[in-house]
């Protein structure tokens, strides 16, 4: 999925990102329902860049290997000119 948008829509993209984070390797839906996902904090937007800290929102389910407890998210709007 390609998403082009203005920086004001980048926070909306963050909300939509969680379900997509493993979309390439989806397992059974019942396994994924028990996974806590990640909570975004320290969300910052500067120009066309959005950053956030992602922290595991509960006990790891380790469906596809070891869940990482803390991640950094970087979203950049890019355009070809």
pLDDT digits (tens, 9 = 90+) for 4-28: 444 455 555 555 555 545 544 545 5
Q: What ranges do the domains of the chain cover?
A: 7-76
Among 53, 76, 80, smallest CA distance to 7 is for 76
Average pLDDT, the chain: 75
Q: What is the DSSP letter of 7?
A: G
Average pLDDT over residues 37-60: 94
Average pLDDT over residues 50-67: 92
| pTM over cut 0.75 | no
């Amino acid at each position: 999925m390609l998403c082009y948008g203005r920086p004001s829509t980048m926070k909306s993209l963050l909300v939509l990102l969680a379900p997509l984070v493993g979309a390439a390797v989806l397992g059974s839906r019942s396994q994924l329902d028990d996974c806590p996902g990640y909570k975004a904090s320290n969300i910052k937007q500067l120009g066309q860049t959005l950053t956030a800290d992602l922290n595991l929102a509960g006990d790891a389910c380790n469906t596809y290997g070891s869940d990482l407890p803390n991640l950094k998210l970087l979203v950049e709007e890019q355009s070809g000119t």
